[in-house]
Amino acid sequence: MTKSYFVTGTDTEVGKTVASMAVMQAIAKAGYRIAGYKPVAAGSKETDEGLMNSDAIRLRAASNVELAYEEVNPCLLDAACSPHIAAELENRSVDFSTLSNGLRNIQSKADVALVEGAGGWRVPVSYDSTLADWVKEEKLPVILVVGVKLGCLNHAYLTAEAVRRDGLEVVGWIANRVNPGTEHYSDIVKTLEHHLQVPKLGEIPYLCSVKSRDLSEYIDIKPLGL
């Protein structure tokens, strides 16, 4: 049976895609078939293959099974803003059944499916629903990415609390050093380890050209049962 995980972050721009790539690279090195999935992406760019989202492109590249772009990202919105605003600008709606059908397809092709969210846990996809509502329907275990910077403790505590209140399990977390100048880095990580009370899957250091690197060495997938 395919294992599936949902990657969320403490905020936008905290490195969900970097962390997702790192986990996928580690899973691939362990010999599993891994497929990345970006159900909703807001922000597109023109490529030789048409409009695509840069995060979805990277998840597709990190997958070791062959996937068409539309399989990785079934809902692509043009504007780089909150998905509910981007969808309204295009007079579209984010259909949960489309997201679920896409997930089933991904799961049929891999041993592990890694699903990357958009923004933080409560990112709205309409004025009445959030992407978390779909994750709840799918009952996906959650990996929390913490962008280590000033204020991240509060954001991490609140996000983990919200995930658990929604009835889902936080199965692991990843520290991503998004700001090399953040003081007391080790103390922040120690505090998160104490408070979150779930396995730390790894720490990703601040690196130049981080999205083009092999980051598998920074991730331990054993707590995921892999």
pLDDT digits (tens, 9 = 90+) for 15-72: 999 999 999 999 999 999 999 999 999 999 999 999 999 999 999 999 999 999 999 9
Does 122 score more than 90 pLDDT?
A: yes
Q: Tell which residue, 37, 28, 32, 31, has the closest CA to residue 5.
A: 37
pLDDT digits (tens, 9 = 90+) for 188-223: 999 999 999 999 999 999 998 888 899 999 999 999
The domain that contains 85 carries what CATH number?
Answer: 3.40.50.300
- Report the distance separating Cα 87 and Cα 182, nearest Å: 36
9 known ligand binder: no
149 known ligand binder: no
Radius of gyration of the chain (CA): 16
* Active-site residue identified among 38, 109, 136, 190: 38
Q: How many independent structural domains does the chain possess?
A: 1
- The pTM assigned to this predicted structure is 0.97
79: left (phi over 0), alpha (psi -120 to 50) or beta: beta
Catalytic annotation present for 29: no
Q: In which domain, by residue range, is 211 found?
A: 3-224
